[in-house]
Amino acid sequence: MTNKSLWWLCAFLAVYCLGFFVDVMDVDAAQYASISREMMSTGHHLQVMDRGVDYLDKPPFLFWISAWTMKIFGVNNFAYRLPSFLFSMMGLYATYRFTLLYYTKQTATLAVLILAASQAFFLMNHDVRTDTILMSFVITGIWQLAAWYKTNRLHHFIYGCIAIGGGMLTKGPIALIVPAFAFGSHFILQGTFFKMIFKWQYILGTFIIGLVLLPMCIGLYQQFDLQPQKIVNGSTGVSGLRFFFWTQSFGRITGESVWNNHKNLFFLYQNMLWAFLPWIVFFSIALIINIKNIVLQKFKLLPGQEWITTGGFILTYLALGSSKYQLPHYIFVAFPLAAVITAHFLQQVLFEAKTEKILVILKWLHSILFLLLWFAVPVLLYCFAAPLWLLLLCAIFISSYVYLWIFKFSNKRYLLVICLFTIAGINLFLNGFIYPALLKYQSGSVAGRWIDTNKLQNKTIVAYRFESTWSLCFYSKKIIPNEDDVQKINAGCYAILAKENLKDFDNSSKKYEVVLSGEDFHVSGLKIKFLNPASRSLMVVPYVIIKML
């Protein structure tokens, strides 16, 4: 890896770390942080609880490692994000090593830069969910298995199975499905499918994966299968083991799962338009070229050619896209494969003097697209009343971009520089100012910090007709229940509520004092009226914390 590439990676790492200071957002990230804190507090690692209620959704690995880091570093943003950050670094390294098995060192470096500089990667390192760890385990497993197929060294196979088991321990069978799709499609086109699937090592692999999953399986069996009377998602007799191995993943395709948001096959690609910025156009072209080439080759691979990345991505996308419940981050697991596909294409375009005609179009298209993105930054800074020095810094970045565009346009390799500079610069402003300004309107983290600062964990605190969010529980370091009866909120208690509901306390003749005031907005669902300072007051919900006297 060249010195320039290392400098770029250092810049990305700095922006990731800046995101450590951003509060976790409701819903998913804050929920997982809250569950991890609760696990750390109770010390119960096999039975997963969510605010005192049995939890049956995601496997426990993220909760385990976040609970452990919270035990060491305390309950804070850093402790929650650190494990996922470390795994994201592992994912970059695995992507590099996998690419080296089939391509040049320069292509491997490009693959790392592309993955590290994708918008999803910046997002995953501050809006921490299970996908960062899943993605890293999956690409590590694919790398190790590919190394085993090439060298026949058993330790690569063992490491690959451990990685797959870790991925299943993080988000379920998808961690096994992606490598199966990747290598299965490769072996079919290579003409070695039946030769490669009948190996005694797979029996050993099944045992290794089972051993990795054993603690979780014991916990699921004890928490759910042994207690069929428990009500889970409105049903009794729910098997935790069946949920993990079938319902959670395949049940979303068959319709057995209760989750259904009626998304179509193109939903994930529509979200890749922003999540795989600034590479989505390059990737889309590269994918089409790869499909065209394999058709022209009559679905047979040439010597040294791989279909692990393209086949793995396509089949994974089709499987996820056929689910009746989809969210934008589900496709993130396949982004390392997309990065390698894109890197191979850019290697040809930028360094091997191929497809010169398309290069001019790509330059103009990306130059205009990035200019629009850059001008959106000062608009957002203005929306949240950024100080003058920050606006001036933004102007310097935009001027630098314009300089690269005008004076370096003739150098085709500066297209790569413009991509890296733009995505790093924009996320610098997002993590450094825009996200923190936005999260001042997340009542859960603001109120939770206030409760923690004033050391009120031993006091009775309720959310009166006001959603008790996971961020409120995480930052207050306390499970805060909901309450809708004024008469049950007595002297010495604290309550968080919408300001308009103070009338209920006034009508009850109960005495109170307002100790905190703020404005609440569901920050993950941005709207134009909220971003506009002139109309923001129409979108926020004023809230207060009161102390009963």
Domain-by-domain residue ranges, the chain?
3-351, 356-440, 443-548
Count Cβ neighbours within 10 Å for each residue of 406-445 and write b for 16 or more, e otherwise: eeeeeebebbbebbbbbbbbbbbbbbbbbbbebbebbbbb
* Per-residue pLDDT reduced to its tens digit, 45-57: 998 999 888 888 8
Residue 143's closest CA among 92, 76, 188, 187? 92
Rounded-to-integer distance, Cα 177 and Cα 309, Å: 14
Classified by CATH at the fold level, domain 443-548 comes out as: D-Maltodextrin-Binding Protein; domain 2 (3.40.190)
Q: Which pairing describes strands 494-498 and 482-483: parallel, antiparallel, or unpaired?
A: unpaired
pLDDT of residue 240: 82
Rounded-to-integer distance, Cα 111 and Cα 342, Å: 7
CA distances from 211 to 132, 143, 206, 468 (A): 23, 21, 9, 38
pLDDT of residue 39: 94
pLDDT of residue 41: 92
CA distances from 310 to 36, 45, 266, 290, 351 (A): 36, 38, 18, 7, 22
Rounded-to-integer distance, Cα 397 and Cα 407, Å: 15
Residue 400's closest CA among 433, 434, 370, 376? 370
Read off the pTM: 0.92
Rounded-to-integer distance, Cα 32 and Cα 220, Å: 18
pLDDT of residue 253: 60
What is the residue type of 46?
Answer: L
- Which residue stretches of 266-355 are H helix? 267-275, 280-296, 308-321, 335-346
* Per-residue pLDDT reduced to its tens digit, 296-350: 998 999 988 999 999 999 999 999 888 777 888 889 999 999 999 999 999 988 8
pLDDT of residue 132: 94
pLDDT < 70 positions in the chain: 1, 250-261, 353-356, 408-411
